[in-house]
Structure 1
Amino acid sequence: MKMLSIDRLRPTQMTHGMREVREKTEKYKALSGHELEMAIAERPIPVVYGPNSAPFAIDHHHVAAALWRANVKSVPFVLVRDLSFLPQADFWQTMENNRWTYPYDAEGRRRPFSEMPEHVWELADDEFRSLAASVRDAGGYEKTSVPLEEFRWADLFRCTLPRPNSDDEFESLVKKAIKLAKSDIALGLPGYLGPVD
């Protein structure tokens, strides 16, 4: 399997859920030897080569950031597409057309591609992205293969729920968000499961 140094990996999104990164970091730190190698191998980073053959991660930003925080310096990767021949503007347009990038900040505002962080561990924390992951893990909606699905759920929660200021508020918000995820307001989002029974 091809390996890539995490510090060379370029992000294609501006935020991630820091709660998710911390949880994954602790899981990786608890592993060693063969167990750690197997855990790393089962989540290769899908990559698109961009200008100057820079490797851009199009998924698993949380995994790469958690591994970096756990002192793992390289990851296996899978090359999805080589777009290194494209000029910068055409590259980002192609990435967006394929839904391989998400240029929005932690407030849900669109930002220029020039503001994309350089490293996967530099992404801003978005509590609503963490909330989306927690709601999915609690059965609020199903994981699908739809690109960037968690961000769509995060945007729903961002528009309808207050930002949590503590762990207790976050846990309380998960329960409200699960009900919201199963209500008609979430109809049409990827992985929607329908009304609460």
Structure 2
Amino acid sequence: MTTFINFALAQNMLMPIGKTPSIDAATRKPDDRPSLGSNGFSSTSHYMLCRRRRATATSRHNEISIPYRKGLMKAVAIKDIRPTQLTHGLREIRRKTQFYKSLSGQDLKMAIAEKPVPLVLGPDEQPFAIDHHHVATALRRAGIDTMPAVLVADLSRLSYQDFWLLMDNNRWTYPYNSAGQRKSFADIPEHVWDLEDDVFRSLAASVRDAGGYEKTTVPLEEFRWADFFRTCLPNPETEDEFLAVQRKAIELAKSKAAAGLPGFLGKVPG
């Protein structure tokens, strides 16, 4: 059983060590079917997934046990948070890590409290993040072990198979690798910091921050922009190449080619 910590009691635990759903069908790739069985899992991958999940569930350390209720903010150990995607953007994580390391005291506590991770409880009451994977990873890199969390749904009574099928149906998971290829749910790593680097995820975030498009409440927004840039732009391998591609991406984001994406700010000729 996963144990959550009362957020008020956990404030002092949020300091670094050593320092005082629904989107349109365009998200799915119709010509890229899951490499799974007819029920969403291969028998082998599902068996191994179940064994790994159950083994992890038995190794939880003792913490302050507080009932976890929907909508109530708590704190959860970052090491216990399970990811629901295969990739993240390392450039974005490094930027966020530097930001958290630059803060201390109440400023740090407030910055952490502003980004609670939305969770869905899965089988064995394991907490699965449906957003803020970058934030969780950055906090861990900054030496912070816990972060605030808010429960979105409790699916802990479902089997692993039904859990992932419902997560997929609600667009709460994105099992695509950095090449845009769909993979098995069993391929999703155990920890949020173990995800594969996707430079186009970082590109999508940097374009948004530069005003190329606006943030919306559409689930998986950055993934859709990342996949759009992936099909139109070369893969940058150096920092100079990234900056050059970023300038092109900002222009592309406001072109009519991006008109169907969430947060589009350009003008389409009528």
In the alignment, the residues of structure 1 paired with residue 192 and residue 121 of structure 2 have an alpha-carbon distance, to the nearest angstrom, of: 16
**Superposition pairs for residues 1-197 of structure 1, below 5 Å?**
1=7, 2-195=74-267
Separation (CA, whole Å) in 2 of partners of 1:138 and 1:3: 32
Distance 1:21 1:132 in 2: 13
> In structure 2, what residue type is equivalent to 1:99?
R
Query: Percent of aligned pairs with the same residue?
Result: 64
Instruction: Supply the distance in 2 between the matched residues of 1:178 and 1:43 (Cα, whole angstroms).
Output: 26
Residue 70 of structure 2 aligns with which residue? none
5+ unaligned residues in a row in structure 1: which ranges? none
Q: CA deviation digits over 1:129-151, x for unaligned, max 9?
A: 00000111111111100000000
Q: State how far apart, in whole Å, the 2-side matches of 1:176 and 1:15 are.
A: 23
- Secondary structure of 2:157's counterpart equals coil
Query: Which is greater in Rg?
Result: 2
Structure 2: which 5+ runs fail to align?
A: 1-6, 8-73
Q: Under a length normalisation based on structure 1, what TM-score does the superposition of the two structures give?
A: 0.98
Deviation of residue 161 (structure 1)?
Answer: 0.6
Q: Hey, what's the Cα distance between the residues in 2 that align with 1:53 and 1:78?
A: 14
CA RMSD of aligned residues (A): 1.2
Amino acid at match of 2:171: R
CA distance in 2 between partners of 1:35 and 1:22 (Å): 19
Structure 2 SS opposite 1:146: coil
How big is the shift at 1:50? 0.4
Give, as a single letter, the amino acid of the residue that structure 1 aligns with 2:173: T
CA distance in 2, matches of 1:184, 1:21: 30
Question: What is the CA-CA distance between 1:118 and the residue it aligns to?
Answer: 0.5
Structure 1 segments, 4+ long, off by >4 Å, are none
CA distance in 1, matches of 2:245, 2:254: 14
Distance in 2 (alpha carbons) for counterparts of 1:109 and 1:74: 32
User: 1-side partners of 2:242 and 2:112: how far apart?
Assistant: 29
Determine which structure has the larger helix proportion and give its number.
Answer: 1
Write the deviation string for residues 102-132 of structure 1: whole angstroms up to 9, x where unpaired. Answer: 0000111000000001001101110000000
**Which residue is 2:35 aligned to?**
none
**2 CA distance for matches of 1:136 and 1:5?**
29
Secondary structure of 2:108's aligned partner: helix
In the TM superposition, what is the alpha-carbon distance from 1:195 to its structure 2 partner? 3.8
TM-score (norm 2): 0.72
